[in-house]
Structure 1
Amino acid sequence: MRTVADPHRTMPRAMRFYRTSTRLIEPFAPRILRSRLAKGKEDPDRWHEKLGQPSTGRPNGPLVWMHGVGVGEVLALRGLVSLMRSARPDLNVLITSSAASSATAFANNPIEGTIHQFLPLDTPKASGAFLDYWQPNLGIWAEQDLWPGIVWDAAARGIPQAMVNARLNGAALAKRQRAHKLYKAALDCMSLIDAQEDDTAQNLKALGAAEVSVSGSLKPVAPPLADWPEARAQLAPRGPFWVNAPSHPADEALAIAAQKQLKGQRTLVIAPRLLGRVDDILTTCRAEGLTAARWSDGLPDTAVDVIVADTFGQLGLWYRLADAALIGGTFSDIEGHNPWEAIALGCAVIHGPRTANFANDYAALSDGGATLATSAQEIIAALADTTRTRAKAEATRSAEFDRKAALAARLLELIDG
């Protein structure tokens, strides 16, 4: 852990240029947000938060501010929240994000002691209003989403900051190197930088980070996704279940091919990553001779082969019902989704060969904690033996808690100076 430079130090030229540019566009910010609102890209009730206008009160006592850009980052931060609050129950946590869908995901998977707001635009007026109102005792940035202006403004106010769960591949490094002086100025404001793996640590150092520790991903220690007990009780008699989630066309095709052979033995739940594809999935299933129903329409009294889960934020329901999950995006250039959400709910993980987005997570599970499948037949074989896989995955997950508890302790030290 390093000491941040004097908060009154001279602003580097790259940061001055960036702040001047954002100041010039600031008068147009409301118009830009209203345009996005008209396109359905902003929350109609909360878009003013992106101008630094809060929609709820600041709680009394110490406040840790954590930022993750989208759904996955926000849900992963919940594990860090739990670890920090278990050591310091007086902590309040403000979680910010940028994507509109992240607010829905957070609302569906709440955690005690936290509130959610949208991160303000990175303009002097918006970021200043945000920091003046919330007055965080610590700022934590997740993965790779650093907003240089607000980072600098927080440091100038003497607010310690950290970057956790950092992930920066070669392509992302190449993009950032075009503005490497700006990123170095932001990284210099961090008291602690912790990466998911060694390649990210080296890439951050190439951008100017002085010290980077490595403690792995936060995703294994995230609390389980929310339960839907009434729906689960309604569905349980229809089991057994297996699930393909969050699904994409390539993995859906294999799941449907497998389900044709499992017809009458199991119910397949397909939970698409993009809900606008639900009608296409239903059409494909029926064309393949499978009975299929949309979850939000209500299920028929008779059994169906496939349920298409079209309600956002209910993965906790489906992972609890299923004994195995075919993790989507692992058969295409999506390069995979998070396996730990399924594992945390006792669901065995089956995946395809393309897992670059979660390479270290799947590597940690490669010794029996997850099953690689490349065909419908291999998926069926994996479904026949899930007990050992689930046990091995849970043991791997448990081992991660000690590593992340140590990281939480280091972050708590920053609050106390």
Structure 2
Amino acid sequence: MAPAPLTLTYQLYRLLTALGAPIAKRTARKRFEARNGPAERFDERSGHASLPRPSGRLIWMHAVSVGEFLSILDLVQDITATGVQVLVTTTTSSAADLAAQRLSHGVLHQFSPLDTPQATRRFLDHWHPDLAVFVESEIWPNQIVMAHARGIPLALINARLSASSLKQWQKKPDTARSLLIRFDAIMTQTDGTRTALQSLGVLPDQLAVTGDMKAAAAAQPVDHAAAQTLESNLSGRPLWVASSSHDGEEADISAAHRIVTAKSPDALLILAPRHPERGDAVEALLRAEGWTVARRSKAQPITGQTQIYLADTLGETGLWYSLAPIVFIAGSFTTVGGHNPYEPAHFDCAVLHGPHYANFELAYTEMHAANACQEVQDGRALGQTVSDLFGSAQLAVLQTNAKTFVTGAKNARGAVVQKLIGLIK
């Protein structure tokens, strides 16, 4: 069946992104530089490749940021084991840094092209992938339409659709259908997302429910030598972690630690910002509030006087989770929408989170049903909860239930690999 015709809305989008390409490039450069992206690689955002295309079959997988990138790591390994090569693109420099650390030898990485006709054309001209795979909620109209026009199969995996996103698409149903119908396969996290996509005109035979791929991802790596060193420095002190914090959340986390230390004066907080390049700003805030801070990126040791350890590095999340019995997953005191609760669950951590978790609604809903996590409304509630959990029977219950939950999480990763390989022409 021929795809739905492109709408006037899309044609206008294409025209505006073509005319506005210089502005989009300048804006992207400012953001790139602000997040310490490697200057010599910025042209990748304009579709100029910095690596040659390898011979043979190539799958392009676009994962945007850290969370999406981590969710596909095991999938990438499964695909390359079949003999097909993979190009991973990300938008953020933090995801690119992780790609350099975690991608296996031979897997390629580039910064993703801007969704302008010019950048997309250059990108596709160079890489001409045999399959384009988008992750979660990434709907880039020019990339979708231009790849489809070249006969490149398209897949959307681990798809999710929030209520707000669905409402926006429902305002332009013809445009939504004209884009989504161009996917050869859409694999969703939930039945609800599948139903929502069908309401937008996606055909049943395009859709499959495969669960949340983040649930089946392996535990984060741990530097065991570093863990032993840190444990010796901790000397049995009460410890908790606040992970993936965003601007505006550190003040609440600081307030929480104030409550914790009022009851347990020797308690230590490991604070890991989502974006390590914010380390200077976070340190300044904490010191202004009177805390004694040691900073990971500056190799400052934890001493008996250290009250907060600022873990402003990448790729060490597993290390922090391996040390702490209690983890607060940030991004949930703001409308960011929360972050991955499966990762600390692998390490027998009691998982706490704030009221905003739309990005992981399925995970948190199921974990709540299994008494495997606990919600806190604000910094005061967080501090009181952490303080109450130290040494309590409830701490052991949350730890055990979180581990049991993530161990039993089901995901059809093998079916996803088989489907993707089958789409290559």
User: Shorter chain as normaliser: what TM range?
Assistant: 0.7 to 0.9
2:240 counterpart of 1:242: yes
Cα drift, residue 243 of structure 1: 0.9
Of 307, 310, 318 in structure 1, the residue corresponding to residue 309 of structure 2 is: 307
Of 370, 374, 381 in structure 1, the residue corresponding to residue 373 of structure 2 is: 370
- What residue in structure 2 maps to residue 277 of structure 1? 282
On the 8 A contact 1:259/1:268 being kept in 2, the answer is no
Q: How does 1:1-400 map to 2 (within 5 A)?
A: 5=1, 13-26=8-21, 33-34=28-29, 43-85=38-80, 88=82, 90-211=83-204, 212-239=207-234, 240=236, 241-247=239-245, 248=249, 249-264=251-266, 266-273=267-274, 275=278, 276-284=281-289, 286=291, 291-297=292-298, 298-299=300-301, 301-366=303-368, 367-373=370-376, 374-384=381-391, 385=393, 386-400=395-409
**How far apart are the structure 2 equivalents of 1:334 and 1:147?**
20
**How far apart are the structure 1 equivalents of 2:179 and 2:270?**
44
Superposed CA RMSD: 3.0
Cα drift, residue 229 of structure 1: 4.2
**How far apart are the structure 1 equivalents of 2:19 and 2:356?**
43
**1:414 partner amino acid:** L
Per-residue deviation, residues 112-158 of structure 1 (Å, max 9, x unmatched): 55322111122333212212222222211112121111111211222
2:418 counterpart of 1:409: yes
**2:56 partner amino acid:** G
Per-residue deviation, residues 353-409 of structure 1 (Å, max 9, x unmatched): 443332211122121322345453432343435444344333322333443333333
State which drifts further: 338-347 or 176-185: 176-185
Cα drift, residue 285 of structure 1: 5.2
On the 8 A contact 2:215/2:411 being kept in 1, the answer is no
Percent of aligned pairs sharing the same letter: 31
State which drifts further: 232-241 or 148-157: 232-241
**1:225 partner amino acid:** Q
Cα drift, residue 44 of structure 1: 1.2
In the alignment, structure 1 segments of 5+ residues that lack a partner are: none
**How far apart are the structure 1 equivalents of 2:360 and 2:113?**
28
State which drifts further: 33-42 or 340-349: 33-42
**How far apart are the structure 2 equivalents of 1:101 and 1:194?**
26
In the alignment, structure 2 segments of 5+ residues that lack a partner are: none
**How far apart are the structure 1 equivalents of 2:18 and 2:51?**
26
Cα drift, residue 203 of structure 1: 3.0
**How far apart are the structure 2 equivalents of 1:25 and 1:73?**
28
Could you state the TM-score of these two structures normalised by the residue count of structure 2?
0.83
Aligned positions, number: 404
